[in-house]
Amino acid sequence: MSIYITVYGAEQKCASCIHLPGSLETKEWLEAAVNRKFPEMEIVFEYCDIMKPETEEQRMFSETILDDEYFYPLVVLNGKVVGEGNPKLTTIYKEIEEAAAQ
Protein backbone atom coordinates (compact mmCIF):
# COMPACT_ATOMS: atom_id res chain seq x y z
CA MET A 1 0.00 0.00 0.00
CA SER A 2 1.31 3.41 -0.94
CA ILE A 3 1.01 6.44 1.27
CA TYR A 4 0.47 9.77 -0.47
CA ILE A 5 1.53 13.03 1.12
CA THR A 6 0.68 16.33 -0.51
CA VAL A 7 2.04 19.65 0.70
CA TYR A 8 -0.09 22.62 -0.31
CA GLY A 9 1.31 26.10 -0.42
CA ALA A 10 2.28 29.15 -2.42
CA GLU A 11 5.43 30.96 -3.42
CA GLN A 12 4.56 33.87 -1.17
CA LYS A 13 4.61 33.07 2.55
CA CYS A 14 1.54 33.80 4.61
CA ALA A 15 1.86 36.77 6.96
CA SER A 16 1.96 34.64 10.11
CA CYS A 17 4.61 32.29 8.65
CA ILE A 18 7.26 34.87 7.77
CA HIS A 19 9.96 33.27 9.95
CA LEU A 20 9.18 29.68 8.91
CA PRO A 21 10.41 27.77 5.83
CA GLY A 22 8.42 28.24 2.63
CA SER A 23 5.93 25.65 1.45
CA LEU A 24 8.24 24.04 -1.10
CA GLU A 25 11.07 23.98 1.47
CA THR A 26 8.68 22.32 3.92
CA LYS A 27 7.87 19.63 1.34
CA GLU A 28 11.59 19.00 0.75
CA TRP A 29 12.62 18.71 4.42
CA LEU A 30 9.51 16.67 5.22
CA GLU A 31 10.25 14.26 2.37
CA ALA A 32 13.87 13.86 3.50
CA ALA A 33 12.91 13.30 7.16
CA VAL A 34 10.12 10.82 6.38
CA ASN A 35 12.25 8.83 3.94
CA ARG A 36 15.00 8.55 6.59
CA LYS A 37 12.50 7.39 9.23
CA PHE A 38 10.57 4.99 6.95
CA PRO A 39 13.03 3.81 4.26
CA GLU A 40 11.13 0.58 3.63
CA MET A 41 7.77 2.24 2.94
CA GLU A 42 6.47 3.46 -0.37
CA ILE A 43 5.60 7.08 0.34
CA VAL A 44 4.81 9.38 -2.56
CA PHE A 45 5.28 13.13 -2.05
CA GLU A 46 3.79 15.89 -4.13
CA TYR A 47 3.64 19.66 -3.94
CA CYS A 48 0.55 21.64 -4.97
CA ASP A 49 0.64 25.37 -5.60
CA ILE A 50 -2.69 26.57 -4.23
CA MET A 51 -2.98 29.02 -7.13
CA LYS A 52 -2.64 26.19 -9.71
CA PRO A 53 -4.47 23.07 -8.45
CA GLU A 54 -4.69 20.26 -10.99
CA THR A 55 -7.14 17.75 -9.52
CA GLU A 56 -10.51 18.02 -7.81
CA GLU A 57 -8.96 17.14 -4.42
CA GLN A 58 -6.25 19.77 -4.93
CA ARG A 59 -8.91 22.34 -5.83
CA MET A 60 -10.88 21.51 -2.70
CA PHE A 61 -7.91 21.86 -0.33
CA SER A 62 -6.63 24.96 -2.15
CA GLU A 63 -10.03 26.62 -1.75
CA THR A 64 -10.12 25.87 1.98
CA ILE A 65 -6.70 27.51 2.34
CA LEU A 66 -7.73 30.53 0.28
CA ASP A 67 -10.91 30.78 2.39
CA ASP A 68 -8.67 30.95 5.52
CA GLU A 69 -9.94 27.64 6.92
CA TYR A 70 -6.35 26.30 6.97
CA PHE A 71 -2.90 27.86 7.03
CA TYR A 72 -0.28 26.84 4.53
CA PRO A 73 1.85 24.89 4.13
CA LEU A 74 -0.90 22.32 4.59
CA VAL A 75 0.16 18.67 4.81
CA VAL A 76 -2.39 16.08 3.67
CA LEU A 77 -1.78 12.33 4.05
CA ASN A 78 -4.08 10.07 2.00
CA GLY A 79 -6.73 12.82 1.95
CA LYS A 80 -6.48 13.63 5.69
CA VAL A 81 -5.05 16.89 7.03
CA VAL A 82 -2.10 16.04 9.30
CA GLY A 83 -0.38 19.42 9.66
CA GLU A 84 -0.64 23.08 8.81
CA GLY A 85 1.43 26.24 9.16
CA ASN A 86 4.35 24.70 11.03
CA PRO A 87 3.72 20.93 10.72
CA LYS A 88 5.08 18.68 13.48
CA LEU A 89 7.14 15.66 12.47
CA THR A 90 5.98 13.57 15.43
CA THR A 91 2.34 14.02 14.42
CA ILE A 92 3.10 13.14 10.79
CA TYR A 93 5.15 10.08 11.81
CA LYS A 94 2.24 8.86 13.95
CA GLU A 95 -0.21 9.31 11.07
CA ILE A 96 2.11 7.42 8.71
CA GLU A 97 2.37 4.53 11.17
CA GLU A 98 -1.43 4.43 11.54
CA ALA A 99 -1.94 4.51 7.76
CA ALA A 100 0.58 1.71 7.28
CA ALA A 101 -1.17 -0.44 9.90
CA GLN A 102 -4.49 -0.33 8.04
pLDDT tens by residue, 69-102: 998 999 999 999 999 988 999 999 999 999 999 8
Q: Read off the pTM.
A: 0.90
pLDDT at residue 40 in the model: 94
Burial tier of 88 (Cβ tally within 10 Å: 0-12, 13-18, 19+)? exposed
Spatial distance between the Cα atoms of 47 and 55, rounded to a whole number of angstroms: 12
Of the two residues 21 and 18, the one the predictor is more confident about is 21
**In sequence order, what are the beta bridge partners of 8?**
48, 74
Q: Judge contact between 82 and 95, C-beta under 8 A.
A: yes
Spatial distance between the Cα atoms of 61 and 18, rounded to a whole number of angstroms: 22
pLDDT band, very low/low/confident/very high, at 23 (cuts 50, 70, 90):
confident
Domains contained in the chain, CATH given: 3-101 (3.40.30.30)
